[in-house]
Amino acid sequence: MRCSAAVSCTHFLFLPILFLLASFLPPPSFAQETALSIIEKSDQLMRGETQTGTYRMLITRPEWEREIEFDFWADGTRRSFIRIQKPQREKGVSFLRLEREMWQYVPKINRTIKIPPSMRLQSWMGSNFTNDDLVRESSIVNDYEHALLGREELDAGEAYMVELIPKPDAPVTWDRIVQWIRVDDYLPLRAEYFNERGERVRTVDFSGFKTMHGRTLPAIMTLSEDKKPGHATTLELVNVEFNADIKESVFTQQNLKRARL
């Protein structure tokens, strides 16, 4: 499906992007770990009851680069809100997800548009991320079967390799995901995504580990696509706060048109 000339295709991190970490005791031995326990611990590191903060996105192409900055609010995996702050020409563009429904507000035409499921895989703001990435409702714990493939040494340390295969009828996009999760602290280091033909389509590398709001987490995610050399998107977590109270009015269609929260 094509987007109109007036409206850019977009996606929410939700938010997933993304992405949050807590302190754990030293991990038990490899023999005691299961794929599910590893995924659960890593997922807990990347989550809070709520999350608010700011992301900076750098979109890189062979001929140009483009930077976007946006604020986000997330209530678990149920609700997400994003508002673009930079560049100025796109300031105020906003996105709302409530469960499986998504909307986008475009200030230039003063219009709120509902994003249908058929557009979930469209590019978000011209990046390598998709609408589905940033407002993802699926759970890497509950919507997949997990298998421990072994360990591998990466530049950032030794990592568990965990394979994720979607359960029947799970609301997911990929037929297979392989994640590398650091043995020492369960931080994610890499994820590879495969289509129904078994082809690797894209890779996400996590880096820039630092402490934010009392947690150590990867502040940078870089997404590259196998069939698009020279095309990449880097998502940097500028600041984040976990478990803060968020007003119910944030997650409303009325809020899409407000200049600020």
Band of pLDDT at residue 210, cut at 50, 70 and 90: very high
Six-digit token string for 149? 């493939």
The answer to whether the CB of 62 falls within 8 A of the CB of 235 is no
Interval 191-215 mean pLDDT: 94
7 has a pLDDT exceeding 90: no
Please report the pLDDT score of residue 87 as a whole number. 96
Interval 76-103 mean pLDDT: 92
23 has a pLDDT exceeding 50: no
Please report the pLDDT score of residue 254 as a whole number. 94
Class at the top of the CATH hierarchy for domain 35-244:
mainly beta
Model confidence over 107-121: pLDDT tens digits? Answer: 999 999 999 877 878
The answer to whether the CB of 102 falls within 8 A of the CB of 117 is no
Band of pLDDT at residue 136, cut at 50, 70 and 90: low
Band of pLDDT at residue 96, cut at 50, 70 and 90: very high
Q: Is 45 exposed, middle or buried (0-12, 13-18, 19+ CB in 10 A)?
A: buried
Six-digit token string for 172? 């997911």
